[in-house]
Amino acid sequence: MLLIVTPIHRDKQNLMPIFLTIPTLNEERTIEDLIINSKKVLPNENILIYDGNSVDKTKSIAKVQKVMFKVQNSKGKGNAMIEAIDYFLHNTNLSYICFIDGDLTYQIEEIDCLFETLINTNSDMVIGNRINGSRENGSITKLNVIGNYLFSILIKILYGGSLMDTQSGFRLLSRDSINKIYKELNSSGFSIETELCILYLKNKFKISSCDIKYKRRLEGSHTKLNPIKAGSEILKTILRLKFT
């Protein structure tokens, strides 16, 4: 089915009611540019850096850029995102929460597409789809492409739906939907995206996607992902949610 997304016209007075969360762990190489780009689409007070105790300049950059900065209590990307959701639900009244990785591999300007798709299709979550979108050479390793593909197939077999990029670090969620399931979130690390997808599928929440660009990390910026460790965590999460 061809989906025609109607552009939503907005200006500074008609801002998207989105709370943007950027999980970071030692992202000094990229976080400044990402914050500057984010401030072009959202007000400073709607931008939160949720940090995993970075030992580089991530914190001082966030302070200079005048966006909120919090250090997570427990370890792992998943725990940072769960704590951010808790903060969003209890300290803001915004209607949507968006996550984007802090390594500048996703383009925050494409939040327009996620927002328009969510509104036009009345979805509960919109995922930035790198598989259908354009991927810069070297942005994803072959191992990660294969892993992503296999996890998406397994999720489809066990839970239905037709998600193409279950591991994407750029997604927009409605407040109502995340409010219903956030207490069930249990993934401390890199399986959080998988867990979100599965809980949304199990609850029959509507999930859509937007084709997005995916760039490779800049020189001097380093991945935190150990593909074997993360892959086994993701597999365990897929099976745990089915059989427990």
Ligand X SMILES: Nc1nc2c(ncn2[C@@H]2O[C@H](COP(=O)(O)OP(=O)(O)OP(=O)(O)O)[C@@H](O)[C@H]2O)c(=O)[nH]1
Q: Which residues are bridge partners to 210 per DSSP?
A: 128
Which region among 4-12, 35-43, 158-166, 220-228 touches ligand X (by CB under 6 A)? 220-228
Instruction: Return all residues near 218 (Cβ < 8 A) that are at least 6 apart.
Output: 29, 30, 104
Question: Which residues from 56-95 bind ligand X, rule CB under 6 A?
Answer: 72, 75-77, 80
Question: Which residues from 121-160 bind ligand X, rule CB under 6 A?
Answer: 140
Q: How far is CA 22 from CA 75, 97, 150, 203, 235, in A?
A: 15, 11, 27, 26, 25
Binds 123: which of Mg ion, ligand X, none (CB < 5-8 Å by kind): none
In the complex, what is the shortest distance from the CB of residue 152 to ligand X, in angstroms, rounded to a whole number? 15
In the complex, what is the shortest distance from the CB of residue 134 to Mg ion, in angstroms, rounded to a whole number? 16
Q: Which residues are bridge partners to 23 per DSSP?
A: 50
CB nearer Mg ion, residue 101 or residue 233: 101
Q: For residue 122, what is the enclosing H or E element?
A: none
> How do 96-100 and 18-24 pair as beta strands?
parallel
Closest by Cα among 31, 44, 45, 48 to 84? 48
CB nearer Mg ion, residue 16 or residue 127: 127
Sketch the per residue contact string, 94 through 133, with Mg ion: x for CB under 5 A, - otherwise.
-------x-x-x----------------------------
CB nearer ligand X, residue 48 or residue 210: 48
In the complex, what is the shortest distance from the CB of residue 237 to ligand X, in angstroms, rounded to a whole number? 15
CB atoms within 10 A of CB 236: 13
| Site for Mg ion, rule CB under 5 A | 101, 103, 105
